[in-house]
Homo-oligomer: A and B are copies of this chain.
Amino acid sequence: MAQIVSFGEVLMRLSTPGFSRFEQARQFNVTYAGGEANVSAALSYWGHHAAHVTRFPDSPIGRAATQYLDFIGLDTSHIVYGGNRIAVYFLETGVAMRGSQIVYDRANSALAEMQPEDVNWEEILKDAKWFHWAGITPALSQGAADTLLAGVKAAKKLGVTVSGDIFYRPNLWKYGKKPTEILPEITANTDIVIANGENIKEIFDIDGNDFVESCVNLQKAYPGVKMVVDTKRTSISASHNLLRAYLWNGKELLETGDIEINPIIDRVGGGDAFIAGLIHGLITFDDQLKALEFGVAASALKHTIEGDALISTVAEVEAIRKGETSGRIKR
């Protein structure tokens, strides 16, 4: 039934209130979030039936996490229960010249201990249009990597479009494999890659003098890749950023203008909102640049909302895409 399916770890997000430092916090705000689920949640708000696949411990905490995903509109019927703990991340939101801080505690999570047999991908994906993954999942464990690989292969087989956020954090790969051993096969089953030139070099060892050349060379190696997409953030301070994006579609480089964001309320999840916007645009519009702009507008809007998830309507994002950023009251 789900049109959009995403797969990835969902963490308990424990953030200090306002701009408090960790040491000051006597309360944490608690939500549940993960890059891939963030993408699906935004799409769900925009009317797509979106299911997220993940694994939670079979405990009150796992139930609380599931209910939160229900709340942000996700179909949670494919969540797997088992394992010992939910991954956690601690967030202290920065302001002015003080950047936000994130402390992860994700080792040995329920998802990291997942195995391919936990998921019946063909069943889950049978009515889907789109499958989305991110590069963190295969970095967590062999089981997570294998489960993802099974997912992208099933998607490919069923003709489902696959997008992958090639997100490279070297310090995550601790289970004995290198990204270069794992990501190529997954990428070979992926249609749309979110990556910059540096990622392409580090992960695939593919060079280029500029972004376009890197993309061209990536497509040579991975002919299934139809688009490569990247964003550029100009960070004036933790409270003031500019955002734009690029899309290489195999023929030309599309590029948006900058959107100014000042002040920023919460930039975590901004990249996921961009991907969600792009996916919505590519599914809905017959205009890749408009889709890219919709992604940047969605990302900008996300920065004004506390929490990883972009809660919005299509109309709100579209208005920003069209340049209506003066913030007048809507009655």
Contact = CB atoms under 8 A, between A and B. Distances in A.
A28 B28 contact: yes
Interface in A268-290: 268
A5 interface: no
Contacts of A262: 96, 237, 239-240
A67 interface: yes
A159 interface: no
Given A63-B22, A85-B105, A98 B301 contact: yes
A58 B278 CA distance: 26
Contact of A311 (B23, B61, B70): B23
A67 B265 CA distance: 22
Contacts of A21: 60, 305, 311
Interface string A207-248: 000000000000000000000000000011111100000000
Contacts of A300: 96-97
Contact of A24 (B105, B268, B311): B311
B237 A325 contact: yes
A99 interface: yes
Contacts of A55: none
B84 A73 contact: no
Given A95-B327, A101-B330, A237-B325, 7 more contacts: A21-B311, A60-B103, A98-B301, A98-B304, A100-B330, A169-B331, A240-B262
30 contacts: A14-B30, A19-B306, A21-B60, A21-B311, A23-B60, A23-B63, A24-B306, A26-B26, A60-B90, A67-B73, A71-B71, A84-B105, A85-B105, A85-B107, A95-B304, A95-B327, A96-B262, A96-B300, A97-B325, A97-B326, A99-B330, A101-B331, A102-B329, A107-B108, A169-B331, A235-B326, A235-B328, A237-B325, A237-B327, A238-B327
Closest 5 CB pairs of A and B: A238-B327, A97-B325, A71-B71, A235-B326, A98-B304
Interface of A: 14, 17-31, 59-61, 63-64, 67-68, 70-73, 84-86, 88, 90, 92, 94-105, 107-108, 169, 235-240, 259-265, 267-268, 300-301, 303-307, 311, 316, 320, 325-331
